[in-house]
A and B are shown apart, each in its own frame.
Chain A
Amino acid sequence: MIRPSSLIKRISLVFLLGGVLYFFIISFTDFKEIYNSAGKDFFLLNGLLDTGSRNLVTAIYLDYRLFDSLFEAGILLIAVSGVMWVSEHKITEKNANFMLDKQKTPELFITFSRLLYPVMLLFGMYVVINGHISPGGGFQGGAIIATAILILYYIDIRKTIEVNLILTIEKFLFLFLFTIAFISYFTRGEFFTNFIPSSMGMDAQVFYLYLLNILIGAKVSLGLIAIFTAFLKEGR
């Protein structure tokens, strides 16, 4: 049911948003002349030689902008701690409704999940490890691994994963990530970059990329598993 005051509001909203769209269109008519390709040319010329990775996106978030990736891992840590804290249950809530006790997974789901689980896990690990020569990397592969482990809940809904252990491991991984980022000061004189100097050639620099991708993949997957578990166990 749409009341008259709400109808006026909706029509005026459409006009206002149309105005914003108009401003956007008149700004972008001459986009092709303004487009500044300084960034693209820099990464095309120097990306491979500086960092040793063929995938330029991985080169950016693991070497040129490692500082950002550290705080991205940090926001996952904060979000997981926050969700765990908020979901702790107190007795005084009136409408708590425990959904999971009422449902039974169909037999078809259970069989297919048993087939899919090892395949997805292997694919996730492949994406994490090969982040520097094909599309992928730590963040993407970590999400795939977390989804693979979520399938375990389809197979057996009462299987619980020890969440406190996951959180402790995740914090240690976070501190370890910082340490690796800081070591480069001692070997190369600069913070937040690859700790293997470029004089040792590209084949040696690749080890750093493997190590960081695996660390970030582990951290992201553990964090997402903790969030999924908190949602599934909400109310236990």
Chain B
Amino acid sequence: MMVYAPLLFLFLPVVASVIVYLIDHIWVRRSLFLVQIMMLAMFVLYAQFLTQHPDQNMLVFGGWDETFAISFYNDTLSLAFVGLSILMWSVLLLYTFKSNRNEPKFLFFFMFLEGIFLGLLQTNDLFNLFVFLELMTVIITILIVYKKTGPSFKAGIFYLLINTIGAMFFLLGIIFLYYVFGTINIQLIKANIHLYADRNIVKLAFIMMISGLSIKGAFFPLFTWLPKAHGVAQSTISALLSGLIVKGALYLFARVAIDMYAGAQYQTQELLFYVGATTAIVGVIFALVQKDLKQILAYHTVSQVGIMVMGLFSNSYLSYIGGLLHIFNHALFKSLLFLGVGVVVTKFHTKKVTEIRGLFRTMPVTSILLIVGMLSISGAPLFNGFVSKNLVKYDFKYDMFKMALFTIINIGTVTSFIKFSQILFGQKTQSVIVTDRKQQSAMAILAILCVVIGLFYKPLFLFFFNLDLSYVKLFDLQQWLDYFLYVGIGLLLYHFVIKKDFKPFKAIRNLSISFENANYMFILYMVFIAVFVFMYA
């Protein structure tokens, strides 16, 4: 019976969302919490079941031959993501319930998205993946324009058109693969890819799929939709977008480009590593010159995605694990930061860093939670960012150039969060603040998880994944000294350079790419990758 649990992960939120829309009663909406708790419990039981029976992880629908029917497949990677998604959705439901409990349509779209995302993580059929990808694009567009203000329509249509183009190119890749292999089952293609790996059609399919997924994953130079969408959406949707949907694209990267094409052995590691490094550096530079709280966080997401790509595509196993762990940790602390900023913006009615002061005295609980988030993202020891960044950087000590790149990115991250933390200092400005216990408890859950992973990573990893992580030493004096050095350089940089807000900074802040130029960048990116793959792979 437990073998059918993947199906329930998909259908329970979808059916619940349709029922919430049909029946307009407050107790039906409160029962959504019950749905989330049931899914968490089922996830724990299913994970236990799979560790005991590891051969029952494929579920074929309809009882037909698995070559020609749709199937679901679960392994360690997808199970970890499923667990993270269910946890994040529960926390976000807790956060958003007070402000949105009278909006059944919002809850309808929100819960339907949960079902679709869980289906995307588990499916084993390429065309089913495309359908889920398009469904996700449509639902997120509707959630971005939910408030129906002028700027939100602008961001919404930009998001919709760019992501549809990416999905169309992904579909082209699926078409080419079907005609070569006769099936669209991912595990079967993975087993057979070495037979046809040197044919040009398979290379062309690889290029199309990578280009399509790069748009959704917000790589350089295609990340312009992300800051626009973050500027207008509610905090819950921003946390969802930055925390999970971009990671879903990276998960698909790991599934399609690394896992499925493993037998083909195209040597694209170096190329994608440098794309990731460029994304990280450009993201940090843009983040340093912004004045809007949410835009700083949005450009940060772009830069952390660059670090994840650097981890996934460098040639060592430790960096791969570090990249995957950074995907987790980033989901946790970036959502914490977005939710905290949401509370701050609602109470202060402004979004600019220069205008908010005195947060620590006005809202102490929120400030402490935000400080936890800031320390995690900058890689302070005792928090989870430290673990993943050290794993990614561990094998770079043999290559000075990569180490230098990583250090520059770290310093930039620390500096921009020093700028962000200016809102904490100062006098108390507002007197009467109504606290929302549900929002605070949601953020507190995320903060506690950050600290727990930061302190207890060794036993946790041994228990869940059988990995020995004693390489990363928590109390190594060298690492603490490095961190304080970064903070020192960051403070100097901030006071003498960033605070003055020179003319070039204004120019960078006002730089925006129009829609047709974004498409031109996409074509350049695709041709660049195509030339590389056809000549060197």
Q: Do chains A and B touch in the complex (CB under 8 A)?
A: yes
Complex Cα distance A39/B116, Å? 28
Report if A13-B523 is in contact (Cβ < 8 Å); known contacts: A71-B131, A86-B148: yes
* Residues 499-528 (chain B) with a chain A CB within 8 angstroms: 520, 523-524, 526-527
Find A168's partner among B22, B67, B530 (CB 8 Å cutoff).
B22
- Bitwise, A78-97 to B at CB < 8 A (1) or not (0) is 11011001101010000000
A16 at the interface (CB under 8 A from B): yes
In this complex, what residue of A is CB-closest to B62?
A193
* Residues 3-56 (chain A) with a chain B CB within 8 angstroms: 9, 13, 16-17, 19-20, 23-24, 26-28, 30-31, 34-39, 42-43, 50
Contact B523 A82 (CB under 8 A): no
A120 to chain B, nearest CB (A): 29
- Bitwise, A96-118 to B at CB < 8 A (1) or not (0) is 00000000000000000000000
Taking CB atoms, residues of chain A closer than 8 Å to B132 are 71
Contact B21 A27 (CB under 8 A): no
B18 at the interface (CB under 8 A from A): yes
- Bitwise, A172-187 to B at CB < 8 A (1) or not (0) is 1011001000000000
A64 at the interface (CB under 8 A from B): yes
A139 at the interface (CB under 8 A from B): no
Find B145's partner among A24, A39, A86 (CB 8 Å cutoff).
A86
Report if A67-B22 is in contact (Cβ < 8 Å); known contacts: A24-B204, A34-B179, A175-B15: no
Contact A67 B530 (CB under 8 A): no
In this complex, what residue of A is CB-closest to B7?
A191
B54 at the interface (CB under 8 A from A): no
Contact A85 B105 (CB under 8 A): yes
Find A190's partner among B14, B63, B128, B138 (CB 8 Å cutoff).
B63
Taking CB atoms, residues of chain A closer than 8 Å to B64 are 50, 64, 193
Taking CB atoms, residues of chain A closer than 8 Å to B67 are 38, 42
- Bitwise, A185-203 to B at CB < 8 A (1) or not (0) is 0001111110000000000
B172 to chain A, nearest CB (A): 10
A171 at the interface (CB under 8 A from B): yes
Interface size on B, residues (CB 8 A): 57
Find A64's partner among B69, B135, B139 (CB 8 Å cutoff).
B69
Which of B18, B109, B534 has most chain A Cβ within 10 Å?
Answer: B18
Contact A19 B527 (CB under 8 A): yes
Taking CB atoms, residues of chain A closer than 8 Å to B531 are 19
Q: Which of B92-100, B193-201, B363-371, B403-411 contacts A (4 or more CB under 8 A)?
A: B193-201
Complex Cα distance A127/B392, Å? 59
List chain A positions with a Cβ less than 8 A from chain B.
9, 13, 16-17, 19-20, 23-24, 26-28, 30-31, 34-39, 42-43, 50, 63-68, 71-72, 74-75, 77-79, 81-82, 85-86, 88, 90, 168, 171-172, 174-175, 178, 188-193
10 contacting pairs across A/B (C-beta < 8 A):
A16-B527, A34-B201, A38-B182, A78-B109, A81-B21, A82-B141, A190-B62, A191-B7, A192-B62, A193-B64
* Given A34-B179, A66-B62, A75-B134, 5 more pairs with CB closer than 8 A: A64-B68, A66-B61, A74-B135, A86-B148, A193-B62
